[in-house]
A = this chain, B = another copy of it.
């Protein structure tokens, strides 16, 4: 479906359910696992005895929402706005979200061209306080830029403060960034970040569980954080007071077996108190992007060098293959030159380059990109060598 064509019943059922069920509802997750999305959607639409693990009152609430859901209209509106819907198990679905078990999103709405699945493979979350200090904003932007320069994708929540600084720092370094919103991805929240979120949608990805037009609520912000934690290889908390939502993301990352990292600050700053609490636990202290990559890259950095690209060249998406073909055999090239060579835009080329980075074909060096040794070898040698 995500490749176009008529949506099947499963997809429409999940779109319907994403209008009816709140993010992270584990009872609903169990229904889907046990009965399938279409059967659950039918029961909610047509009535009948309530499903297990819910009250009569809650069931009636879901039924009322179900009466108002119009999945075909949601899908049409999304397509109009350049938004696609990813179902679990489809090609672009980031499989690491399955670690959430019954709290796994029903699906994800995505704005932006790159492959979420590819980008998420080499991604790190950078999160923190909305009302951050100048130090926090500086560190978030510096980490974003440093991760971008090392070929890592920066995921955050699009909020004011640390989130915004991380996205901006990444974009400023010509990097790849993903905003995970707690509202419909056609909306810009917060309003003051309309410009930033629009830029992210052009240069990167804006994703979320909620259907087009839906608004954020306090519980949606909290539950959005589990998606950030699950999507990424690890979560860095830049500044967070004792009760910051960023600590929710960090703890979710810990539960999911992801790396949890913290940037220390002065102990005289309440905005670092939550980070220091994490660092007194299992979180690892990081001072810069090199520290982060040293930790999360343990496998990711080395594995492609040992194993060569995960995917043979001839299985690449044609657009990605054109970008790969535009890289010189030796030395680095600037994204604009690669874009010209591939006959595409700068933003599309950068998006593809980060996908190719996840697959081990290319590396970023400063502002330029080059083929990895393995990619060069795979060109020179017979194709059966992969």
Contact = CB atoms under 8 A, between A and B. Distances in A.
Interface of A: 135, 138-139, 263-268, 272-273, 276, 279-280, 284-285, 287-288, 291
Given A263-B267, A265-B265, A265-B267, 6 more contacts: A139-B267, A139-B268, A264-B272, A266-B266, A267-B288, A276-B285
A287 B264 contact: no
B285 A279 contact: yes
25 contacts: A135-B266, A135-B268, A138-B268, A139-B267, A263-B267, A264-B264, A264-B265, A264-B266, A264-B267, A264-B272, A264-B276, A264-B279, A264-B285, A265-B265, A266-B266, A267-B287, A267-B288, A273-B287, A276-B285, A276-B287, A279-B279, A279-B285, A280-B284, A280-B285, A285-B285
A135 B138 CA distance: 19
A267 B280 CA distance: 17
A127 to B, nearest CB: 17
A313 to B, nearest CB: 39
Contacts of A279: 264, 279, 285
A12 to B, nearest CB: 49
A157 B135 CA distance: 32
Residue picked from A138, A279, A284, most chain B C-beta under 10 Å:
A279
A276 B139 CA distance: 15
A272 B276 CA distance: 14
A359 B312 CA distance: 72
Contacts of A135: 266, 268
A381 B137 CA distance: 62
Residue picked from A139, A266, A272, A279, most chain B C-beta under 10 Å:
A266
A273 B280 CA distance: 17
Contacts of A139: 267-268
A278 to B, nearest CB: 9
A139 B285 CA distance: 20
A285 to B, nearest CB: 5
Nearest to A269: B266
A94 B329 CA distance: 69
A38 to B, nearest CB: 51
A268 B134 CA distance: 12
Q: List 3 A-B pairs, minimum CB-CB distance, nearest first.
A: A264-B264, A267-B287, A279-B285
A268 B288 CA distance: 9
A265 B263 CA distance: 10
A279 B264 CA distance: 10
A16 B276 CA distance: 50
